[in-house]
Structure 1
Amino acid sequence: MLTHRRYSLKWRLTLFFSSGMLVLLLFLSIFIFFSTSNLVHQHEQKLLNQKATAIAADLKTEITEEASLTIAYLTRLLTNYADVNQYINISDQNGKEIASIRGANWTKEPEEYYERTLVAKEPVQLPFTSELLFVQISTTTEALEWYFSILLTILFLSSFFTLLLSAIGGYWLSNWGLKPLDHLIQQIHSIFPQRLSQRIHHHHVETEIYELIHAFNLLLDRMEEAMVYQQRFVTDASHELRTPLSIIEGYVSLLQRWGQHKPEVRNEALAAVEQECKRLFKLIDDLLSLAKLQHTAQLDSSKVVQPLTPLLLEVKQAWEPIFPPQIKLFFEWEEALVLFMDRERIRQLLDILLDNARKYTDKGQVKVRAYGDEDAVHIVVEDTGIGIQAKEIPHLFKRFYRVDKSRTRKRGGSGIGLAIAQAIVADHEGSISIAPSAEKGLIVHVLLKKAGMD
């Protein structure tokens, strides 16, 4: 299926910057054009007012008697002030026109959107009459058409080149600003599964790029650790599976050579094969259990709030007959312990801890204590076994880890039990720790979140 490829960050930043600049230039050009046109019109209005005042003053001087108020005489006076774009008239107080003169280019309505009609009106008081005359000049700004055309051309060209330069500059700046990111991408492409130890350099880079590189290097650390752990797990699992298979293969060969004629050899071989098969099944079950726990982590579908006492009683009844006479098993618990738990998983946890305590304790006792505090339930399994050195304790929860492989194999351990126990506790949002005991054995301390009963 084809996927839509998005534009690169460089082009999107350039487009964003250019769009912002376009909007800014548009508003700026509109503001400049209308501000300038208003200033020009105000100046033209001022000149028109001055002209109306001058005509009124001349009329006072030229008209000294009522006989001069004829259309021909007044028209001749107005001709001295004629303009091709203006209309000048003289009217009385009632608005009746006495005389007028119209320019060749005068039009009452402006033809262009940036043209206006300007009007100036000035009263005239003649010496021989008490009535007022009015001089009115009307003009259009058609003569300014060339000016506004030049202004529009300048605004368009300046905006175009500014927008072009901003687009080029925006692309250059984004290209320059994202150059560390391009370099980072090249380094990431150079990392292969066979070269996970390689790290990305983060010298002399911006804070954001530094944080990104640092986070990616931490991811590589986790990936490398996971791959090393996986390789070690595969190697150890292969070794664990190979050992019983080698034993089985040896006894099968022995059966083929001597089993038909020597019953004691046949019985020994069959018993050994059966034991190693059980060991294989146990190892496979442990691996499947660990994988299932990791796959279903954070799923609480099988967890319910329930008391812990019945489970402890069940575990006690199941394990007391299994322990040999030289090892005493003690249980001690409080009655009012309630957990939000998967009962089968907690039973599996207790079985793992008791099985380990039994295997690595030659004589003495194993004591299980369960008690609660304000927020948590504590389960402590303490034995008087062979113990281990303190430096080995942090490694006990690793899969297939053994302090002494030959001794552990002799006692029947696979090295997965504590890893399963830790996964169960983690799934219940608890914690598990191991410490040496005063009796040279070990103390396993499990802490689980307490739940209240409805």
Structure 2
Amino acid sequence: MRKNRRHSLKSRLTLLFSSGMLVLVLFLSIFIFFSTSNLVYQHEQKLLNQKATAIASDLETEINEEASLRVTYLTRLLTNYADVNQFIILTDQSGKQLASIQGANWNKEPQDFYERTLVARESVQLPFDSELLFVQITTTTEALEWYFSILLTIILLSSFFTLLLSGIGGYLLSKWGLKPLDQLIQQIHSIFPKQLTQRIHHHHVESEINELINAFNLLLDRMEEALVSQQQFVTDASHELRTPLAIIEGYVHLLQRWGKNKPEVREEALAALSQECKRLFKLIDDLLSLAKLQDASYLGSAKVVQPLTPLLLEVKQAWLPIFPDQIKLSFEWEESLSLLMDRERIRQLLDILLDNARKYTDEGQVRVRAYRDGRWVHIHVEDTGIGILEKEIPHLFKRFYRVDKSRTRKRGGNGIGLAIAQAIVEDHDGSITVIPSSQQGLCVQVLLKITDDEQSDS
């Protein structure tokens, strides 16, 4: 099956310009032909009226007595004014024909579309009679056939050459006008995936081309940023996967060499292997969650309006036994809170925030508060943990970012949790921020927007 080839922009512009010129030329040709022919007809009618007036004047002079009204005499008088394309008739007031003369080429019906029948009528006042006679001249414009043929030929030839020149001129103009676009296309073709740092340069171009170049350069910036982010993600993920695998490989070699014969070494190795396998499973689960949260077809399918209180109670009951005795976990919430949410994702969000607070708090308390303020539901998770420097806060939501990698690894973090939390919040049209806590730890603030339906129900 052959693919339909799309016409180039030059050919389209040329076709559009030529089509416009065709309509314009057609309109002008019709206008010129009919306006010119009408002027000619008006001139011919004027001459015909003058001839009728002249014949009437001559008849008033020649017919001086009643005996002069004989048909032969009147016919001889009219013969003096005969024309090959005219019909002249003399009648009385009742319409009775007194005399007539017909030209050799006279035909009542016009032979061509541009021919007309013209009529001129004039009264004749006889000196010896009070009644009027009427002389009428009828003519066709057959004599103008040659003139109209020449006029049509000139119009057709001029229209043809005008269309031809407009097509050539339209192509040349479109080629000249699209020259900056052709240069832009050549520069785009010169950019390869390994040269995304290259940008398109432009000087003295039209504003539309300038906007297109700027938009393309911005696209390259985003592509380069995405590529760098992807490469960094692959590098960090590979590093995170290699670390537990290296530990597992080390213990396997230890057991193969001599550790399998010593129970205490074997137990230590098995415990370490189990711990590192859990780390691998946790890392893989986090990577899968992050990938799903970036898939538009996966998001938004399970959101329903539901109360937040049962979920907070469920989280409280699940996490209270997990927290050590030296860390106090407290919850505060308003009973009337409800959201359009994916319950499993919001539960995952709260689990991530509480898990981070527990990992980085040695003693003190972790406080969870949920309340409504206008069109927003606020969820704050505040701890008295080790905290971080304020300059590190903007980087916390980057994948695999950790302030102190050695310390974070000891506490079991992989730097993906907050990135997942941010993706969940953004999927719910909310925002998440981290600020230093008044008690030397951190406070994570989540804002989730209340829908119009929820607001009207409250």
Structure 2-normalised TM-score?
A: 0.94
Going from structure 1 to structure 2, the CA distance change for 1:71 and 1:313 (only over 3 Å counts) comes to: closer
C-alpha distance in structure 1 between counterparts of 2:449 and 2:297, whole Å: 16
- Post-superposition Cα deviations, 1:307-354, rounded to whole Å, max 9, x if no partner, equal 222222222222222222222222222222222222222221111111
- Cα distance in 2 between the residues matched to 1:75 and 1:150: 37
1:297 Cα offset (Å) = 6.6
Aligned residues: 454
SS at match of 1:260: helix
Q: Provide the residue aligned with 2:353 in structure 1.
A: 353
Alpha-carbon distance between aligned partners in 1 of 2:188 and 2:67, rounded to the nearest angstrom:
103
AA matched with 1:288: L
- Classify 1:123/1:337 alpha carbon distance in 2 versus 1 (closer, same or farther; 3 Å): closer
More displaced stretch, 67-76 vs 224-233 = 67-76
**Amino acid in structure 2 at the alignment position of 1:237:** A
Matched residue SS, 1:353: helix
Structure 2 match to 1:128: 128
Q: Following TM superposition, by how much is the alpha carbon of 1:237 offset from its aligned partner in structure 2, in angstroms?
A: 0.3
Match for residue 198 of structure 1? 198
Per the alignment, in what secondary structure is the counterpart of residue 295 of structure 1?
A: coil
TM superposition shift of 1:431: 0.9
**TM-fit CA distance, 1:438:** 2.4
Distance 1:380 1:186 in 2: 54
1:5 corresponds to 2:14: no
Q: Which residue of 2 aligns with 1:299?
A: 299
SS of the counterpart of 2:294? helix
* Separation in structure 1 between the aligned mates of residue 73 and residue 2 of structure 2, nearest angstrom: 90
Structure 2 letter corresponding to 1:446: V
**In structure 1, what is the equivalent of residue 28 of structure 2?**
28
Correspondence 1:48-67 to 2 at 5 A: 48-67=48-67
- Tell me the amino acid that sits aligned with residue 427 of structure 1: D
Which residue identity lines up with residue 424 of structure 2 in the other structure? Answer: I
Structure 1 residue aligned with 2:323: 323
Residue of structure 1 in register with 2:413 after alignment:
413
Measure the CA separation in 1 of the matches of 2:313 and 2:91: 122
Distance in 1 separating the partners of 2:265 and 2:319: 34
Q: 1: CA distance between counterparts of 2:295 and 2:10?
A: 41
Unmatched tracts of structure 1, length 5 or more = none
- Tell me the CA shift for residue 298 of structure 1: 7.4
1:434–1:443 contact (8 Å) kept in structure 2: yes
1:370 equivalent in alignment to 2:370: yes
1-structure distance, mates of 2:295, 2:215: 26
Gap runs ≥5 in structure 2: none
Displacement of 1:296 in angstroms is 4.8
Q: Distance in 2 between matches of 1:114 and 1:22?
A: 23
Match of 2:111 in 1: 111
Range moving further from structure 2, 7-16 or 282-291: 7-16
Q: How many Å separate the matches in 2 of 1:137 and 1:433?
A: 101
d(CA) in 2 for partners of 1:267, 1:387: 36
Q: Distance in 2 between matches of 1:310 and 1:139?
A: 104
Q: Which moved more, 1:201-210 or 1:433-442?
A: 201-210
Letter in 1 for 2:32: I
CA distance in 2, matches of 1:316, 1:357: 14
Distance 1:306 1:63, change over 3 A: closer
Which residue in 2 is equivalent to 1:78? 78
Report the secondary structure of 2:391's partner residue.
Answer: helix
What's the CA shift for 1:182?
1.8
Give the corresponding residue for 1:343. Answer: 343
Aligned residue number for residue 254 of structure 1: 254
CA distance in 1, matches of 2:99, 2:405: 128
How far is the alpha carbon of 1:176 from its aligned partner?
Answer: 1.7
Match of 1:99 in 2: 99
| Alignment-derived partner of residue 167 in structure 1 | 167
How do residues 102-251 of structure 1 correspond to structure 2 at under 5 angstroms? 102-251=102-251
8 Å CA contact retained: 1:360, 1:386: yes
The aligned counterpart of 1:439 is: 439
| CA-based RMSD | 1.9
Pair 1:290 & 2:298 matched: no
Q: Secondary structure at the match of 2:176?
A: helix
User: Per-residue displacement from partner, 1:32-70 (whole Å, max 9, x unpaired)?
Assistant: 211211221121111112112212222222233333333
Is the counterpart of residue 425 in structure 1 residue 437 in structure 2? no
Deviation at 1:151, TM superposition (A): 0.9
- Inter-partner Cα distance in structure 1 for 2:60 and 2:312: 125
User: Aligned partner of 1:440: which letter?
Assistant: Q
Report the alpha carbon displacement of residue 131 of structure 1 after superposing the two structures with TM: 3.1
The residue that corresponds to 1:389 in the other structure is 389
Q: Secondary structure at the match of 1:38?
A: helix
Contact 2:293 2:299 in 1 (8 A): no
- State the distance in 2 between where 1:413 and 1:196 align: 34
User: Alpha-carbon deviation of 1:217?
Assistant: 1.6
Alpha-carbon displacement from aligned partner over 1:180-221 (angstroms, at most 9, x marks no partner): 222222222222211111122233222222222222222111
The 1-side partners of 2:336 and 2:437 are apart by 27
Give % identity.
80
Select between 168-177 and 148-157 the one with higher mean Cα deviation.
168-177
Distance (Å, rounded) in 1 between the aligned partners of 2:364 and 2:310: 26
User: Alpha-carbon deviation of 1:262?
Assistant: 1.6
Alpha-carbon distance between aligned partners in 2 of 1:296 and 1:125, rounded to the nearest angstrom: 100
Which residue number corresponds to residue 18 of structure 1? 18
Shift of 1:12: 1.5
Contact 1:258–1:266 (Cα < 8 Å) also in 2: no
Q: Distance in 1 between matches of 2:294 and 2:240?
A: 21
Q: In structure 1, the residue corresponding to 2:440 is in which secondary structure?
A: coil
What is the CA–CA distance in structure 2 between the aligned matches of 1:293 and 1:309, rounded to whole Å? 24
> For structure 1, which segment, 293-302 or 333-342, has the greater mean C-alpha deviation from structure 2 after superposition?
293-302
Q: Which moved more, 1:235-244 or 1:377-386?
A: 377-386
Match in the other structure for 1:280: 280
* 2: CA distance, partners of 1:99 / 1:371: 115
